[in-house]
Amino acid sequence: MAPQHKRTRIRRLAVGAAAVAASAAVAAVPAAGVGVVRAADPGVPAPTPTAALAGPPPAPGPEKPPAAVPVPGKEVPAFGAFLSSDQRGVARMAQLSRWLGGAELRVGHTYLPGNRWSDIEGDIHFLEAWARWRNEKDDRMLVLNVPLQERNEEGVPDDEVRRLLRRGAAGEFDHHFRALAERLVRLKVPDTVLVLGWEMNGITYTHRCGPDPQSWKKYWNRIVTTMRSVPGQKFRFDFTPSRGRDAVPWTQCYPGDDTVDVIGMDAYDQPAGMSFDQQVKEPYGLQGHVDFAKAHGKPISYPEWGLFRNGDNPEYMRGMLAWFDEHKPLYNTLTDYCPHGVWQCGANPRSSRVYRSALFGRTDETAPAPTPTPTPTPTAPLPPAGCSPLDLGSWVEYWLGGKLCLRFDWWSRDD
């Protein structure tokens, strides 16, 4: 083909030029013998570290890159997703992991219903499925959201919420939470992370804080004290407001360091038009959350996060993932249903690509750093005794196969 023919013609021109250069060098010293020193020539002594070389060594060839291995680094923050409260959520964990290239989903997240007190006591069959999933691997984590009141999403007015909070603060509901703690211990998940009364700074739930923050805090403290009194428990209690001020500043609801193990935040992409940077800097926002937790010596978490008022927003998705990598929460779990999600929701393809590419294949297993095999630096052979090398340039020497060497002992040789 034409490229091959062109390379052949260039090689012939180069050899011709090398011959001319060699002839000129010989003509300059007519009484001398001429030889070419090559790496394969016999009789050339092996170089030693202190030996002077006949010239600069040839340039080394391209170094072969090492085989790809996982880059060692800090532990990957534990993550997962809310996929469904019941057994379907358990089954989907493996499916989501496959979609993420085998990424290790260490966190399972589910919710107790808040319709009746029996729900809050854990009298629901799907807890058994989540307990089995948790116990299959030692490093897995089960996160369980626990309502603090029955009829939790029925629009109960503030006056009634206030009365309920005061009843709770007086200990009227302690036995429900003792029953839940005992059930979790029996299911062999005594180390469950319990997100009590989440988003208490808003207006959605009957367990909200705003109508009476002081009674809310007392009620939280009673619940934690009651559950910690159950033999065998190792629970961690996660205080999780929603991002921003909402109905009441969430710091007004904080019940104290003695009864809080983790300070979380539910951080959806809202309101409309708010950039990720604004979500970081707003009062009671992402930065305020990190700073508050640090001041209280607590790890952080993000039990709920995802897309919302700004639609398919890859800027938010990249921002949150980078935030997790920087601040290393105890765990984060994406809410994966429309409009928030990226796997079960087809409405967010751009954000889905960002999420998948960032977490594809992530595990906590890291290989040791590869020890590169040193590439030996080629060295030029030493010239024979009584031989003086000529510097004709690396281009000519390449085509000659080595350096030209002029011998000045020709007069002493036997003919």
- Residues with a known catalytic role: 199, 304
Name beta bridge partners: 354.
none
Residue 402 backbone class (left: φ over 0; alpha: ψ -120 to 50; beta: rest): left
CA distances in angstroms from 111 to 62, 84, 414, listed in the order given:
57, 9, 101
Amino acid at residue number 190: P
Q: 405, 35 in Cβ contact below 8 A?
A: yes
Name beta bridge partners: 263.
239, 300
Beta-sheet strand order (sheet of 387-390)? 33-37, 403-407, 387-390
Three-class SS state of 113: coil
What is the distance, to the nearest Å, from the Cα of residue 367 to the centroid of all Cα atoms in its chain? 15
Nearest C-alpha neighbor of 391 from the set 56, 58, 39, 52: 56
* DSSP strand pairing (403-407 vs 236-239): unpaired
CA distances in angstroms from 320 to 26, 142, 279, 332, listed in the order given:
73, 22, 10, 10
**Residue 177: which H helix or E strand, with range?**
helix 174-186
Q: 21, 392 in Cβ contact below 8 A?
A: yes
Q: The tokens of 29 are what?
A: 């010293």
Task: Kindly provide the b/e burial profile for residues 275-295, where b requires at least 16 CB atoms within 10 angstroms of the residue's own CB.
Answer: ebeebbeeebbbebbbebbee
